[in-house]
Amino acid sequence: MARQLNLILFARCGEDAFTHAGFTNWKHALVKFNSHENSAVHKEAVMKWNSYSSNASIASQLVSQTEQEQKRNREALLQLFSSLLYLARQGLATRGHTDEASNYHQLLQLRATDSEALNSLLNSSRRHKWLSHEVESEMIEHMSHTLLRQLTDEIRQDGYYAIIVDETTDIATREQVSMCIRHVDDNWNISEDFVGMYATDRTDAGTLTRIVSDVLLRLNLDVCNLRAQCYDGASNMAGVHSGVQKRIRDLQPKAVYIHCHNHLLNLAVQEAASYSVRCVRDILSLVNDLANFFRESAKRSGILECVTSDVCGSGTDTKLQPLCPTRWVVRARALNALLQHYEAVIKALDKLSDEPGPTGAKAEGFCSKLMSFDCLLYLKISQRVFSIVEQLASSLQKKTMTLSDARENVSNVVSSLKSMRCESHFTDIWGDVTRLADNLNLPKPELPRRRKLPRRIDDGGLAHHYDNPCTYHRVESWYTCIDAVVTQIEERFSGDSFLQIANAEDLLIRAASGQPYKNELTKFLEHYDDFDESSLDAQLTLLRTAVLRRSLPADEKLTVSVVAEILKNAAGAQTLLDQVFRLTKLLLVVPATSATAERSFSALRRLKTYLRATMGQPRLNNLLMLHCHKDRADKLNLKDICQEFVLATDQRSNFFGNYVRC
């Protein structure tokens, strides 16, 4: 029929037996039928007969078929983007030693078993084009830039912002500068967002300042809204004459410098532990050396594990924690680990002391040290002090921590440490150590040998002599340790780097509590000239009424966070007290620590490993954005991103079509 209608125009093979002559070779019928079914003349005849029967034009059929192919291609492209987003979000490598063995290709092969469109794309002749490294990097870049645009739009909408900057060295020994932005929305939701990692060959103040200025310019963030800058306190960052903070303040005088409170606390503890108190210095060194001694050998670790299982029971964690100078919350854990397994460690060292060579000598030395009453007492004293201090370190690392709350927490910890400086508290420690020492058959405590004073400082008077070991250690160890830590914390946190913000906090709190605030208001307006004096003064007077509407518990102290919560729940307060709202947002936007930048370093170490050390900086930045902002990455509209990718070239538009119409 197709031949009679002159529909067969392109196929050259006549196939006369199936068109007009008739079929007679019935012996090989099945073979001939199968051959004819796959022939070009049969396919052309079927296609044109279907078109002839449906009265549809060839052009419309071609358009319909093209649209169906584009729809399948769009579905496959969407799965390519979602697969890359999953790998980037989880911090997994997309590439491997070979393309076929990479996580990206293997994930696509897995998903293709449930997707006909993806399977068709992977088996097509153009698969290498859409799975190439260049296209893959472009897809990741589109997703990262979309996320960054959304983030910067929110920062600009929130108004005031602060910058958090820190630098580290990656696995490829390249200096990386992390840039984070802190901002607060109208509902008082505090956000600290990582916006990029930037490689540099130099870390001098001028270079770092140019990096910060360039980032703000690229993100279209007005420097007029910059209100704070938080760094780790290094001289190139915190220098008062030519540091980064001074150069930024020359550009924006209202951008107060905040020395990271976690770094301040770490410096205070290190100073007290390493230099001021000899017993704490020695016990920390012992704990670190012991942990490394067992961790360096699988045999030693195995002996410790067996002994611990016999002493404490099976299933007990036997790992000793070494001290890390770059981590803020490890000292108390390391001390606790040794205290819990004190008996097991002694027995393990006693076994290892029979080993020949340096191993036996070290084990013998460690064992003799642990078998002293003073060592156990110093370990207990250090554990009590550091457990309190590291609670402060943990609380300071929160993203929502404000400067006001940080100062309050520091004050509370100092008060707690001072309250521990009493005879009754040390008596409890002495009792616990004495009972544990009796169980371990440790020798009784003794007074140290009396030392004769040097002649140059001997004034002829009688030297003080302690009556018993308990009194000696209470004064010379416990009181000395408490005093050293408290003194260092108070000295480190009494600097004048944030006096302007402290004055602004006092202004808000005094006004909210009904106290006079004229002096604070005058100092505040001298620095922040973008507030209306008369309106702010009148609204601070009204603030007392707004605060009194809420009955505060007797034990709750009025802080910036408490005032912000009251204003948030007060109907119409944002319109009535707009100047107070700006003041509160200004105080909330000031960061207390640079912990967010430290977290970005952890993400950097997860992504740029020794197996991925050759990763380029643009790709690293794009992967870091998707990995650090997992919640935002989950909310990305992949169809819009796919549309942006498709519209980049005419060839892609012809191959994938338009996502808007689907």
What are the pLDDT digits (tens) for 546-585? 766 665 555 667 788 888 888 887 777 778 888 999 999 9
Q: Which percentage of the chain shows pLDDT scores above 90?
A: 42
Q: Which percentage of the chain shows pLDDT scores above 70?
A: 84
Query: Residue 4 pLDDT more than 60?
Result: no
Query: Residue 204 pLDDT more than 90?
Result: yes
Name which of 90-99, 387-396, 454-463 the model is least confident about.
454-463
Residue spans of alpha helices (H) in 493-609: 499-512, 518-527, 533-548, 560-569, 573-576, 578-588, 595-607
Separation CA 586–CA 366 (nearest Å): 54
Name which of 24-38, 103-117, 436-450, 581-595 the model is least confident about.
24-38
Q: State the pLDDT confidence band at 80, using cuts at 50, 70 and 90.
A: very high
From the centroid of its chain, how far is CA 144?
A: 17
Running DSSP on this structure, what letter comes out for residue 450?
P
Residues 11-21: tens digit of each pLDDT = 455 565 555 66
Query: Residue 7 pLDDT more than 70?
Result: no
Query: Residue 426 pLDDT more than 50?
Result: yes
Query: Residue 336 pLDDT more than 60?
Result: yes
Q: State the pLDDT confidence band at 446, using cuts at 50, 70 and 90.
A: confident
Q: How high is the pLDDT of residue 92? A: 94
In this prediction, residues 305-322 reach a mean pLDDT of 76
Q: How high is the pLDDT of residue 249? A: 93
* 407 Cβ contact list (under 8 Å, min separation 6): 493, 502
Query: First vs last Cα of the chain: how many Å apart?
Result: 39
In this prediction, residues 158-178 reach a mean pLDDT of 94
Query: Residue 444 pLDDT more than 80?
Result: yes
Q: State the pLDDT confidence band at 466, using cuts at 50, 70 and 90.
A: confident
Q: Which domains does the chain have, with CATH numbers?
A: 16-55 (no CATH), 60-131+637-656 (no CATH), 159-260+598-614 (3.30.420), 265-445+466-492 (no CATH), 499-588 (no CATH)
**Strand, coil or helix: what is 27?**
helix
Does residue 383 contact residue 339 with C-beta atoms inside 8 Å?
yes
**Strand, coil or helix: what is 559?**
coil
Q: How high is the pLDDT of residue 618? A: 94
Give the number of residues written for the chain: 662
Residues 42-72: tens digit of each pLDDT = 666 666 656 656 655 555 555 667 788 888 9
Residues 349-381: tens digit of each pLDDT = 999 998 888 889 999 999 999 999 999 999 999
Q: What is the pTM assigned to this prediction?
A: 0.83
Q: State the pLDDT confidence band at 141, using cuts at 50, 70 and 90.
A: very high
